[in-house]
Structure 1
Amino acid sequence: MRLQPLIYVDPQSGACFPVTPSLLAEVYLVPKSAGWDASTALDDPAHPWAQSFGVDPEGVARAVERALVDVIHACPHAGPQDIDLAALPEGRARLHLSALLSVWQRRGTVPDDLCALRHVLSAPADQALVPLRLLPFDPDPHATATEDAVEARLLAHHGPASDEAFAAWQARQPRGAEDGALSALQRGLAVAEPASLDPSLAFYDLRDSLHEARFAAALARRMLDEGRVARQSDIAVLAIADPVARAHLAEAFDAQGLRLTGQEGPARRDVAGELASLALRVLQSPAPAMALASLAMLPLMPWGAANGAAIARDLMRGRYRSRIAARLTGAGAELWETLTGGASTAAQLGFKLNHLAERLIAPAGAEGMRDEARALLRRIAAEAGSGNIDWPYLQRIARAGGRIAGETLRHLDGVSLVDEGELPWRGCRHLIVTGFSAGHYPRAAGPSSLFMDSELRAIRRYLGLSLPGAALAMARGMALFQRQIGAASEGITFLTPRLDGMGKALAAPMTRALIARRFGRKEAELAQDPSRLPFPQAPVTLSAIAPAAKTRPDLPEDGMIELSRDLLGLRKAEDGVPLPQSPSRLETLMVSPLAWLLGEMGAEDCPWQPETLDILLKGTLAHHVLEMVFPAKAPLPDADALEALVGQHFAEGVRQTAPFLAAPEWKMERDTLCRDCLRAARVWLSILTEEGAEIVANEVTLAGEAHGIHISGRADSLLRLPDGQTVIVDHKKSSARSRRDRMKAGWDLQVALYRDMLRRPTAGASPETMGLDRDHVAIAYHTLNDGTVLRSGARGRNGGSSRVEDLSQAIAAQSLPLLQQRIAEAGAGRLRLNGDKDEGFLTKKAHLTPYAFDASPLVRAWTIAGQTIGPGDDDEGEAA
């Protein structure tokens, strides 16, 4: 691509402006482009990259598109008629070039910037609305064939500008230095004449991009304060295209009260591409929960921002059947059903995408965003066709860009910011080159994406097409760097970071070695003494740039915070009545009142992360299988039928609660868990048979009054023994050891609360609980991993299953008194913080896994030194 832009003289004002594709489109009335996307024509199995495309479609699409753009630029008329493949010998070069031409011909278009150029090459002179008389520059050795042809065409149409106009333009151009080291450097890196270094050139080795940015800003500020430059616009900064480095520069210059001009304006979120990409991923069953949650929160969805956020929270907490989504009505409910049903055929996909497009809404000021999204969805629906769904192809059309860069903002007053790949857009007195490290100045030039150097030479020899290779790219990069340093008239400061953002060492660029040789020095001799920096410089260490330590508020020594309100009434029903507590919430209250309070306020941590088969999901699936295989008030299933029943209900459970497990990559985990469920079902069948137990109800709601509050929860199963005694069973996807130790230590809580609820029922309890023996209620845990039942409170049993262990009734002797204390404190508006020994005590003494400590980082951060939840043995807490 050319380094010397074409400049035309305005016939009215005599001002000079660059010729751009957008200008040509306006002057020559170029029809609107049909759009360009080379990646949409790469699915031909005959293409030489077909196998690679199947593995990495995105990477191959980028490589082919780059190569095709180079081919188009190499054609004088920007058309495939410029290429006669018959002149090129058979071989790899011809094979790849033929495939590129095939893609080009299938698309029938060229990139947007080339569309205007191609139109000018075939347009008559009288089509131009205004004359574009070009300044007579020497030929640009880096211009492509198409660019040279356009220049010749414009000269033929309009003629050159006058010599007077050219002289006036030259007089306005920035002048380089007239003598000294800067002048010598600007005359060329490869010039053999002797030259001496002087203060017009400076070189500093700095730690990283942050230190570099602060140095550059401080240097600019010092130059202005000392009067070495008169205006901010006298300074320019050359920067690499790294977002982190750019952010550091913006922050540092802002801190010095300086404006960086030449930066991109505010980026715009590509909501249309984001929505289309997410919709395709959601409709390609199984739908990832994170994709569905992201789609639910987009501003164009017809259920509103609040509902979208609530649905997303449900999904990210593993609730695939979102309770908020279930309450949607009208268009929102209809669309949710459409999105969660998947699409198995192209026709079905097209229908659902069109349905989504029709249901989109537009918040105030977002009408254009909605229309853009509708157009993209309808285009994808049309491209889906009627055969098999080509998901990768449709995703490439969606092109979720995340953010669309804003326009470059340039102000007269401000420090000029120039990208390392661009020509300076104005001159300066002092240039600061940042990121002066290996791979930059010039940018690293890799080989052609499709052709070897020998093939590029063959294409040039037989077809006359000059395609860029590594050598040409390097030559252009060096020429660009020479043009960039030529923008300074008084001095240049080169800043070399020695570490990247990950702490990896960076080497100096090759141009630094060339500069050293230009002045007869060794490269190491260029770096200047840090003690002679142009402004006072404090020692910089990693701790100096680390974020300030987060301080916590002053906490009371006794760990008690007075909130002066009934904390048990924070959650209320629609009628204003406080909602009941559940056994799991009360266990959290016992372990960590702060974690419980955050849960009551909906402020617990809800991380967004991909689905995983954790212990909670394993338990959910196992519960579903046992509930469906062993229905209430029905005969026990035959042992020979268990395998088929478990397989059927396991698959249904996956579909309902963990659809991601249906994906092929989860087959091994899915099969393993299904075998575990089958083993647990066989053991449960034998226990029920040997105990002579009848299943009264599964997933039964218990509601009652206990410990001064209302409690409600769901028990996994209610059994009736032959003597009429009731047993409340809770299935656990674990082994019996830790649960047995907890029950023996008196620190169990959950099933003890179930028994309390059943004994003192309130409104809301399931009808199945009526008519049960409430005076003789046993409670039990069924641990699925080892097929053991740990039971408490059963009347003397003779015989029965060998897998049932009867324990004493004192399984909650320690936990209930602590829970009652916590309930009293919460009701009085008092919140007790955890002690720093609590976690160890709960693990070692109570045999509890304190999950509540992971509810929020605040729980561990706000602990009180020297305190413990237990009766006092600190050594055990510390040992944990």
Structure 2
Amino acid sequence: MANAVMAGDFQPMLVHDLRGKQAALFSLIRSASPATNGQLKEQIRSFQRLLNDDELLAPDVAEAKQLASRLVAALGNANDAAEAELEKAIQFAAAYQAPPCPRGPYYLGGISVMLAHEMPKRQFRKLLVLGFNDGAYPPPPSGNPFFLDSEVEAISSAIGLQLPSQAKQLDAALDLFSRQIGSASDQVIFLLSERDRGGSFLSASSSLPLISRLITGMDDPESLVVPLTHSEGTIWDRLVAWMPRPVVEPLQPLEVQAHYEFDLDLLSLRKKDDGTPRAQSPSRLEKLLISPLAWVLAELGAEHVSWQPEALDVMLRGSLAHEVFERLFPPGKDHPSDEVIEEKVPELLLERIRAIAPFLQTSAWAVERNTLEAEITKSAKHWSMVLKSLDAEIVGNEFWLTGTLFDHPVHGKADCLLRLPDGQPIVVDYKKSSSGTRRQRLQKGWDLQVDLYRRMTVRIDERSHEAVVRIGETLNGWSKQPAVAYHTLNDGNVLLNGIEVFDSTDVELVAGDIAANALALISARFEALKAGRLETNTTADAKFFQKAAALGTYALEDSPLITAFMRNDTAPSVTLPDGQDD
């Protein structure tokens, strides 16, 4: 599940089995945020109606309904037509405190959990104090809201009235803490956080100097603090010191070979239920171009999973732009005007953000969200202008193509199919990038995406949808291979290949074979993999593929294993094509 979320799949698998109230409640939770106070109140009431009727959950459901009613009442005076007061609702809900849970039974020799404000009820051998940071042990005193401590002392001396003061609260808190740590007979371990959630440093509790006085010869209280990450052994070893750490001898680095031999067909690692090899996609084949080891790891499902904060990276920008374009330019419809584009793009983008990148809905991402909206709007206006100038019809969006490459099955999903007035089909792939590197790749003959699309077909049978049939008829109705094009959304360029003469200033014609070198290397890679030979990369490969082929080398960063099995060599691992020697 964690891997799916990190890959951008935010749809829980168990949702498919939800029915009735459960499905409706999930839809309500994932629905758009309310725009008005009236919508907010209605969503809260719907939440109450959809809660579970199970008798075992009756007390919890009753408590949830009661809190929801209080929340609606708190919003009662707000104008229903006004903007939803979400901040007020969140503050009210955040103030909720769960009722204390009853204590369970105590077990002799077991682990007991004691809260910071509780007095110890028995002796312990070992005591772990959690959260030993500034502001705890003892907590800061609240003091008297009306009198200073000096005034409280004067009142006590004059009339004998004992009022709360900061000094008294601090003394009581220190006395409680002293009793708590005094309940341990063998060992007391204090755990404190080095940083907060934002990465800022946190200091130790103010009682650290007092504790250091209990230790003979301890002049510097800070020397008691030992970072867990800077010590040897596991965390448990460092906390309890109950077992010796095993001695591990360091391994000597191995000499990486030019290739490794395996007694199996590496090209057929992934198979279908009937035993036939699974199809390769253009993205997998491009990875194979760069690094056979990275490709094998992907085939085995052993790719490195990078755990990092959510970000609006290139992949996510492209996915959002693709999905907006698919809905903004439907097949068989008139191309939208600038006014329609300006009206629909914000709505479509927010809809897709809710579906595949919900974190972008927060106010912290407002600048990036608005920038992406402006970029997509500009690209859509230019694309609409290009389509109108070409008098091109959109036949289909997001459709699958299948075929074979060197007798191995391949498939891919194209973004768009256009048909010119003379019937010429053009398979288009959208790219959320500029055209510079893409143009060089086509001119150097290293493309391995749209060129594969033109070699594949749409599979049609009696169960095929009408939209698929229309795409198949358009491709099959043309006597030659279809033309292919990249539409680079960042600069609006359209790079077209497969038409010898094309009179249009809105399209850039790239002549020649755009995939000759890529297919030659893929053929060699296929033969090596079939023979069980896995070739390794060299340190010169990144420069070669970037300069000679204009290819991205992200595959070399897919896993630390690729770097570990990379030969230190000034020559690339592949033979340079004629005329491309650096």
- TM-score of the superposition, structure 1-length normalised? 0.49
Q: Select 2:504's aligned residue among 800, 814, 831.
A: 800
1:486 shift after superposition = 11
Q: Secondary structure of the residue that 1:357 maps to in structure 2?
A: coil
Q: Contact 1:586–1:819 (CA<8 Å) still a contact in 2? A: yes
Match of residue 67 from structure 2: 383
Amino acid at match of 1:380: A
Matched, 1:737 2:409: no
Give, in whole Å, the separation in 2 of the partners of 1:466 and 1:629: 70
Match of residue 781 from structure 1: 486
Matched, 1:357 2:52: yes
Distance 1:325 1:552, change over 3 A: farther
Match of residue 710 from structure 1: 409
Q: Select 1:823's aligned residue among 523, 526, 540.
A: 526
Q: Contact 2:134–2:203 (CA<8 Å) still a contact in 1? A: no
Give, in whole Å, the separation in 2 of the partners of 1:328 and 1:483: 50
Q: Contact 1:742–1:748 (CA<8 Å) still a contact in 2? A: yes
Q: Contact 1:424–1:484 (CA<8 Å) still a contact in 2? A: no
Deviations 1:785-805 (A, max 9, x none): 1111122222222x312x422
Q: Residues 50-65 of structure 1 correspond to what in structure 2 (within 5 A)? A: none
Q: Contact 1:728–1:751 (CA<8 Å) still a contact in 2? A: yes
Match of residue 562 from structure 1: 262
Match of residue 612 from structure 1: 311
1:735 shift after superposition = 0.7
Q: Contact 1:325–1:336 (CA<8 Å) still a contact in 2? A: no
Distance 1:572 1:685, change over 3 A: same
Q: Contact 2:152–2:165 (CA<8 Å) still a contact in 1? A: no
1:783 shift after superposition = 0.8
Distance 1:862 1:450, change over 3 A: farther
Range that drifts further, 459-468 or 662-671: 459-468
Q: Contact 2:123–2:183 (CA<8 Å) still a contact in 1? A: no
Q: Contact 1:703–1:762 (CA<8 Å) still a contact in 2? A: yes
Q: Secondary structure of the residue that 2:456 maps to in structure 1?
A: helix
Match of residue 6 from structure 2: 316
Q: Select 1:447's aligned residue among 141, 154, 169.
A: 141
1:736 shift after superposition = 0.9
Q: Secondary structure of the residue that 2:516 maps to in structure 1?
A: coil
Amino acid at match of 1:593: P
1:478 shift after superposition = 6.6
Match of residue 397 from structure 2: 698
Deviations 1:375-406 (A, max 9, x none): 434421332015548344445547699x9999
Q: Select 2:541's aligned residue among 838, 860, 865.
A: 838
Q: Select 2:272's aligned residue among 568, 572, 575.
A: 572
Q: Contact 1:376–1:398 (CA<8 Å) still a contact in 2? A: no
Q: Secondary structure of the residue that 1:814 maps to in structure 2?
A: helix
Q: Select 1:860's aligned residue among 555, 558, 563.
A: 563
Matched, 1:669 2:372: no
Range that drifts further, 746-755 or 608-617: 608-617
Match of residue 629 from structure 1: 328
Match of residue 164 from structure 2: 467
Give, in whole Å, the separation in 1 of the partners of 2:330 and 2:222: 81
Give, in whole Å, the separation in 2 of the partners of 1:400 and 1:831: 61
Q: Contact 2:426–2:485 (CA<8 Å) still a contact in 1? A: yes
Q: Select 1:870's aligned residue among 571, 574, 577.
A: 574
> Which protein shows a greater Rg?
1
Q: Residues 252-291 of structure 1 correspond to what in structure 2 (within 5 A)? A: none
Distance 1:813 1:346, change over 3 A: same
Q: Select 2:379's aligned residue among 665, 677, 680.
A: 680
Give, in whole Å, the separation in 2 of the partners of 1:347 and 1:453: 47
Give, in whole Å, the separation in 2 of the partners of 1:601 and 1:465: 74
1:751 shift after superposition = 1.0
Amino acid at match of 1:469: Q
- TM-score of the superposition, structure 2-length normalised? 0.70
Q: Select 2:426's aligned residue among 727, 749, 762.
A: 727
The percent identity for this pair of structures is 28
Deviations 1:702-738 (A, max 9, x none): 1222222222211111122344332211111111111
Q: Contact 2:277–2:409 (CA<8 Å) still a contact in 1? A: no
1:615 shift after superposition = 1.8
Q: Secondary structure of the residue that 1:646 maps to in structure 2?
A: helix
Q: Select 2:174's aligned residue among 477, 491, 504.
A: 477
1:744 shift after superposition = 2.3
Q: Contact 2:28–2:43 (CA<8 Å) still a contact in 1? A: no
Give, in whole Å, the separation in 1 of the partners of 2:531 and 2:541: 23
Distance 1:608 1:341, change over 3 A: farther
Match of residue 292 from structure 2: 593
Q: Contact 1:595–1:856 (CA<8 Å) still a contact in 2? A: yes
Give, in whole Å, the separation in 2 of the partners of 1:482 and 1:325: 49
Q: Gapped runs of 5+ residues in structure 2? A: 34-38, 76-85, 196-200, 224-228, 236-247
Q: Secondary structure of the residue that 1:686 maps to in structure 2?
A: helix
Q: Contact 2:119–2:180 (CA<8 Å) still a contact in 1? A: no
Q: Contact 1:561–1:831 (CA<8 Å) still a contact in 2? A: yes
Q: Contact 2:539–2:568 (CA<8 Å) still a contact in 1? A: yes
Deviations 1:244-303 (A, max 9, x none): xxxxxxxxxxxxxxxxxxxxxxxxxxxxxxxxxxxxxxxxxxxxxxxxxxxxxxxxxxxx
Number of residue pairs aligned between Structure 1 and Structure 2 = 522
Give, in whole Å, the separation in 1 of the partners of 2:29 and 2:335: 39
Q: Contact 2:194–2:203 (CA<8 Å) still a contact in 1? A: no
Amino acid at match of 2:6: M
Q: Contact 2:138–2:207 (CA<8 Å) still a contact in 1? A: no
Amino acid at match of 1:379: E
Give, in whole Å, the separation in 1 of the partners of 2:548 and 2:337: 43
Q: Select 1:811's aligned residue among 492, 496, 514.
A: 514
Give, in whole Å, the separation in 1 of the partners of 2:559 and 2:449: 22
Q: Residues 99-248 of structure 1 correspond to what in structure 2 (within 5 A)? A: none
Q: Gapped runs of 5+ residues in structure 1? A: 1-308, 360-369, 529-540
Deviations 1:470-508 (A, max 9, x none): 4552476379759978999xxx999999x9968999899
Distance 1:527 1:585, change over 3 A: closer
RMSD across aligned C-alpha pairs, in angstroms?
Answer: 5.3
Q: Contact 2:129–2:190 (CA<8 Å) still a contact in 1? A: yes
1:750 shift after superposition = 1.0
1:825 shift after superposition = 3.8
1:652 shift after superposition = 3.8
Distance 1:434 1:375, change over 3 A: closer
Q: Contact 1:594–1:832 (CA<8 Å) still a contact in 2? A: yes
Q: Contact 2:282–2:412 (CA<8 Å) still a contact in 1? A: yes
Matched, 1:340 2:30: yes
Give, in whole Å, the separation in 1 of the partners of 2:332 and 2:222: 86
Give, in whole Å, the separation in 1 of the partners of 2:27 and 2:210: 61
Distance 1:447 1:638, change over 3 A: closer
Range that drifts further, 831-840 or 670-679: 831-840
1:661 shift after superposition = 3.4
Q: Contact 2:545–2:551 (CA<8 Å) still a contact in 1? A: yes
Q: Contact 1:456–1:467 (CA<8 Å) still a contact in 2? A: no
Deviations 1:808-828 (A, max 9, x none): 333222222222233334445
Amino acid at match of 1:859: I
Deviations 1:603-638 (A, max 9, x none): 434456554322222222222333333322333334
